[in-house]
Amino acid sequence: MNTISGYDFGKAGLSKSPVSMADLALLKATVLWSETDEKHLRIAGEVLRDQREAILDVWYNFVGSHNHLLRYFSHKGQPDPDYLAAVRKRFGQWIEDLCMRPYDQQWLDYQYEIALRHHRTKKNRTDGVAAEPIIHFRYMVAFIYPITATIKSFLAHKGHSAETVEAMHQAWFKAVTLSVLLWCQPYVNPEEF
């Protein structure tokens, strides 16, 4: 079995998300999540599965072309190639998890783990690096757009109708928004989240 360093989905010892399953249901309702979205997100997962490396190339080229983003993977002004490679493997798995896993307690708990790894609470610990100690909140939210806008052409690669591609894209957009929103939890006072 191929293991991904630092990929701890479902492992004992992860903190339980402070967001409850009831809260998650309300958040899903707020992003207009439906069973149709769930169906189309699964189709998207099948479409994207063998395109992950190409998708990651687009996203990594985007980050790499913006020093204000690349700094989060750098030490003393120099990008850390090992750190970038480790995060890339987990980012690729995130695509699969976002599309194919049920949004249950395990999924919710792992979103919290990802959140902590972006926040100063656990940033850099998983890979033992000395990069920027936090990914600033503003870039967490702003990154929703490029991750959503750049995926549509990949969704169209398997010959689905324009209507199905659009439905997959809308489901992806909702799922990314939901996921990133959960990653923002540590940045907000608990009583204000």
Q: Is residue 9 over pLDDT 70?
A: yes
Q: Is residue 191 over pLDDT 60?
A: yes
What's the CATH fold of domain 21-188?
Globin-like (1.10.490)
pLDDT bin (cut points 50, 70, 90) of residue 91 is very high
Q: Is residue 1 over pLDDT 80?
A: no
User: In terms of Cα–Cα distance, which of 40, 36, 160, 165 is closest to 98?
Assistant: 40
- What is the distance between the alpha carbons of residues 148 and 56, in angstroms, rounded to a whole number? 13
- What is the distance between the alpha carbons of residues 73 and 11, in angstroms, rounded to a whole number? 25
| Averaged pLDDT score across all residues of the chain | 97
For residue 131, give both structure tokens.
């990069």
Amino acid code (one letter) for 43 = I
Q: Is residue 2 over pLDDT 80?
A: no
Q: Please compute the mean of the pLDDT values over residues 10-14 and round it to a whole number.
A: 94
Q: Please compute the mean of the pLDDT values over residues 14-19 and round it to a whole number.
A: 97
- pTM for the whole thing? 0.96
- What is the distance between the alpha carbons of residues 84 and 77, in angstroms, rounded to a whole number? 14
pLDDT tens digits for 122-131? 999 999 999 9
Say if residues 132 and 123 touch (Cβ distance below 8 Å). Answer: yes
Q: Is residue 64 over pLDDT 70?
A: yes
CA distances 108 to 32, 152, 178, 183, Å, are 18, 25, 11, 10
All residues at 6 or more sequence positions from 123 whose CB lies less than 8 Å from its CB, including other chains: 117, 131, 132, 133, 134, 135
- What is the distance between the alpha carbons of residues 129 and 93, in angstroms, rounded to a whole number? 21
For residue 191, give both structure tokens.
């009583």
Which pLDDT score is estimated for 52?
Answer: 98
All residues at 6 or more sequence positions from 9 whose CB lies less than 8 Å from its CB, including other chains: 93, 97, 101, 106, 110
Which pLDDT score is estimated for 32?
Answer: 98
Which pLDDT score is estimated for 158?
Answer: 96
Distance of CA 138 to the CA centre of its chain: 15
List the chain domain ranges. Answer: 21-188
pLDDT tens digits for 143-164? 999 999 999 999 999 999 999 9
Percent of the chain at pLDDT exceeding 90:
98
